[in-house]
């Protein structure tokens, strides 16, 4: 079931990356092409001219090309048809071979339980394939056509013959095309909206029959027991049957309220990040009040009642929950309401009121915006799924991408000419100089012959490509940033190890000159510095505060002396005893494993380090992960 869902998802994603050309296409004629123009295409339906498909040549193999092609635009920048009948026939053969192999397993050295498991796995796999509906797909088609300027139309078709429509895939995604009620609830600042027919009852009944018919009796009994318990506890099946076969969600971005995002201490200077306040609403269609009554009954629980406030808006009851303050100033006041046939959960009371305002006709919401109107054009919005992505989403996401690229550029500049060149090449490849963002509106319709998805996109010649490029740039930055960060971290840890080694040598030299004794705990930095001649050796490149402290004239050490060895003779200590380790406890600071743990518990760069240097009493330096430190000798006592 999951695999087949992935197949459909892949097909839909293919639609997203193939729409639109950038230039208007002049329809060919018989005189200009020398080829007859057939009558397979549909009549023109908009400001563009849909070019009819050529007459198909007779083929010895039956295909669904004519049925698919009547939905497509021939003459645009992209046209694809793929017959799946031969491919699926081969897959049938593979499944037959797998079944025969399972039958032969009885002759191998398997016990009875293993043979049953093999047979059950094959049976379940074959049943899934036969009932899910994928084997009914007879053809797949896609086309792209420029309507005007940067407005493009793309169509995707997933075809099955009218008599082959009993698969779960075809039953769950709806039947009759209908008005998209979600459009009567979407606020004007909506940037993403997805509403889809989804028959949960059919899906559950298929799963129950599938488990009963194919699973081991023990699993069937366990499933029945769990279902009975849920029915008793909440009337699960009655609740499921009360759903109306539609689900969806949408995201809003409130430009009037910009949220400042705090950046980490090691972020490049001068960079800032803010984004429009987001909101999220989830919708489910219901046939009655069963589900709403169940939810509101839970909200009346004494543990929750004090946190929930009721209010009235437009004749509807709103249930709003108070929440603890967030680290950023985002309005989070989850609000539940039932509006008509839909139960809605919004992330804020404001968003819930905005939804009701559109529903009551106080404003047109998203449907009245210029971007939506342009994308819609003459497109019929009746269908079984609606998908909308605003160009504003790309703009907001682009802020994060540009911030990441700026950080990557600073790191590349710090690394050297080779890294700078790599960054510049990647920046051009990712199209970071392109500030054009795409919007898209798609409607999926279930027909007697399968699924037709029509999409309108704006942006550039590649339709939604700008949004994908922004995402690609983000991916590229996410690849480059860790690579450069790892290289920088490696260099910093090696330099820190060098500093720790020099400090260790300074301490040993001091002991040689002072009757074989290491310095007192409260003087070790002072005495070592007399031999080192500079404070820089005390500043770890892994400590971002060290440079600023040094410039401010402060004495500070990124390293600590093991308190257990202060004043002792290093020759009398076990060679695996810790002498010096990186830990920001201050000038002349001493400590041990507990101090490392306390430093890690505090927010800051030290807690994010992967390794720290440790100098042993014998002068060796180790770069160790925090989990390895507990195995070291911190007491100076000989261990058995």
pLDDT of residue 304: 77
- Ranked by mean pLDDT, the top range of 317-331, 387-401, 403-417, 503-517 is 503-517
Contact status, residue 484 vs residue 419, Cβ threshold 8 Å = yes
Segment among 216-225, 301-310, 426-435, 520-529 with least mean pLDDT = 426-435
Q: Does 26 score more than 80 pLDDT? A: no
Contact status, residue 453 vs residue 444, Cβ threshold 8 Å = yes
368-398 pLDDT, tens digit per residue, is: 999 999 999 999 999 999 999 998 888 877 7
Instruction: Write down which residue in 371, 389, 407 finishes a domain.
Output: 389
Establish if 62 belongs to a structural domain: no
Is the same domain home to 507 and 383?
no
pLDDT of residue 171: 84
Question: How far, in whole angstroms, is CA 466 from its chain's centroid?
Answer: 18
Establish if 507 belongs to a structural domain: yes
Instruction: Write down which residue in 389, 410, 426 finishes a domain.
Output: 389
Segment among 87-91, 108-112, 397-401, 474-478 with least mean pLDDT = 474-478
- Of 481 and 338, the one with more pLDDT: 338
Q: What is the mean pLDDT of residues 113-122?
A: 66
Q: What is the mean pLDDT of residues 253-277?
A: 79
Contact status, residue 142 vs residue 107, Cβ threshold 8 Å = no
Establish if 326 belongs to a structural domain: yes
Establish if 451 belongs to a structural domain: no
Domain that holds residue 613: 489-631
pLDDT of residue 3: 38
**How many Å apart are CA 346 and CA 337, to the nearest integer?**
8
Establish if 615 belongs to a structural domain: yes
Instruction: Write down which residue in 332, 356, 389 finishes a domain.
Output: 389
**How many Å apart are CA 389 and CA 370, to the nearest integer?**
14
C-alpha closest to that of 591 among 572, 566, 571: 566
Q: Does 2 score more than 80 pLDDT? A: no
Is the same domain home to 376 and 504?
no
- Of 46 and 323, the one with more pLDDT: 323
Is the same domain home to 314 and 201?
yes
- Ranked by mean pLDDT, the top range of 75-79, 105-109, 438-442, 598-602 is 438-442
437-473 pLDDT, tens digit per residue, is: 789 999 999 999 999 999 999 865 343 333 333 334 4
Mean pLDDT of the chain: 79
pLDDT of residue 314: 82
Is the same domain home to 382 and 502?
no
**Domain count of the chain?**
2
Query: What is the percent of the chain with per-residue pLDDT over 90, rounded to a whole number?
Result: 38
**What phi, psi does 296 have (nearest 5°)?**
-65, -30
Q: Does 97 score more than 70 pLDDT? A: no
Q: CB count, 10 Å around CB of 210?
A: 17
Question: Exposure of 10 by Cβ count < 10 A (0-12 exposed, 13-18 middle, 19+ buried)?
Answer: exposed
pLDDT of residue 104: 59
Q: Does 276 score more than 80 pLDDT? A: yes
Establish if 462 belongs to a structural domain: no
Q: Does 110 score more than 90 pLDDT? A: no
Establish if 42 belongs to a structural domain: no
Establish if 469 belongs to a structural domain: no
Is the same domain home to 385 and 512?
no
């Amino acid at each position: 079931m999951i695999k087949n869902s992935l197949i459909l998802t892949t097909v839909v994603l293919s639609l997203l990356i193939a729409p639109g050309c950038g230039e208007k296409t002049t329809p060919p004629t018989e005189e200009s092409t020398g080829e007859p123009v057939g009558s397979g295409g549909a009549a023109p339906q908009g400001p563009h001219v849909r070019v009819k498909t050529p007459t198909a040549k007779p083929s010895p193999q039956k295909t669904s090309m004519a049925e698919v092609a009547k939905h497509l635009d021939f003459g645009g920048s992209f046209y694809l048809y793929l017959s799946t009948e031969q491919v699926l026939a081969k897959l049938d053969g593979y499944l037959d071979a797998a079944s025969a192999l399972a039958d032969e397993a009885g002759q191998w050295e398997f016990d009875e339980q293993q043979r049953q498991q093999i047979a059950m796995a094959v049976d379940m796999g074959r049943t899934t394939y036969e009932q899910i509906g994928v084997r009914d797909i007879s053809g797949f088609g896609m086309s792209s056509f420029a309507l005007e300027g940067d407005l493009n139309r793309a169509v995707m078709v997933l075809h099955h013959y009218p008599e082959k429509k009993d698969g779960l895939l075809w039953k769950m995604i709806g039947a009759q095309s209908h008005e998209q009620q979600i459009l009567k609830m979407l606020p004007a600042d909506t940037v993403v909206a997805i509403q889809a027919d989804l028959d949960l009852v059919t899906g559950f009944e298929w799963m129950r029959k599938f488990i009963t018919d194919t699973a081991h009796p023990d699993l069937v009994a366990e499933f029945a027991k769990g279902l009975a318990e849920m029915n008793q506890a909440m009337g699960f099946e009655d609740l499921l049957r009360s759903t109306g076969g539609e689900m969806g969600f949408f995201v809003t971005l409130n430009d009037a309220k910009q949220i400042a995002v705090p950046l980490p201490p090691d972020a490049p200077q001068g960079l800032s990040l803010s984004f429009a306040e987001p909101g999220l609403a989830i919708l489910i269609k219901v046939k009655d009040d069963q589900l709403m009554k169940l939810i509101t009954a839970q909200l009346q629980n004494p543990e929750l009642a004090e946190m929930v406030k009721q209010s009235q808006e437009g004749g509807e009851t709103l249930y709003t929950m108070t929440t603890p303050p967030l680290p950023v100033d985002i309005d989070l006041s989850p609000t539940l309401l039932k509006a008509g046939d839909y139960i809605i959960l919004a992330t804020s009371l404001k968003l819930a009121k905005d939804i009701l305002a559109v529903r009551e006709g106080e404003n047109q919401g998203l449907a009245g915006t210029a971007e939506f109107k342009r994308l819609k054009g003459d497109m019929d919005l009746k269908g079984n799924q609606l998908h909308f992505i605003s160009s504003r989403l790309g703009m907001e996401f682009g802020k994060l991408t540009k911030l990441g690229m700026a950080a990557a550029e600073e790191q590349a500049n710090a690394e050297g000419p080779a890294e700078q060149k790599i960054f510049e090449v990647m920046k051009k490849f990712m199209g970071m100089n392109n500030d054009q963002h795409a919007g898209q509106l798609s409607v999926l319709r279930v027909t007697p012959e399968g699924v037709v998805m029509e999409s309108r996109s704006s942006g550039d010649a590649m339709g939604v490509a700008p949004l994908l490029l922004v995402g690609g740039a983000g991916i590229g930055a996410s690849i480059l940033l860790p690579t450069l960060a790892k290289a920088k971290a490696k260099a910093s840890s090696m330099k820190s190890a060098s500093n720790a080694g020099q400090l260790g040598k300074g301490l040993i030299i001091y002991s040689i000159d002072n009757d074989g004794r290491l310095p007192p705990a409260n003087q070790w930095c002072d005495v070592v510095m007399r031999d080192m001649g500079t404070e820089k050796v005390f500043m770890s490149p892994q400590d971002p505060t060290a440079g600023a402290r040094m410039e401010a004239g402060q004495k500070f050490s990124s390293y600590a002396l093991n308190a257990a060895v202060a004043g002792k003779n290093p020759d009398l200590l076990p060679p695996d005893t810790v002498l010096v380790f990186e830990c920001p406890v201050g000038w002349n600071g001493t400590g041990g494993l507990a101090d490392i743990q306390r430093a890690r518990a505090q927010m800051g760069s030290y807690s994010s380090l992967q390794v720290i240097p440790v100098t042993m009493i014998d002068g060796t330096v180790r770069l160790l992960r925090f989990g390895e430190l507990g195995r070291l000798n911190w007491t100076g006592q000989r261990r058995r």
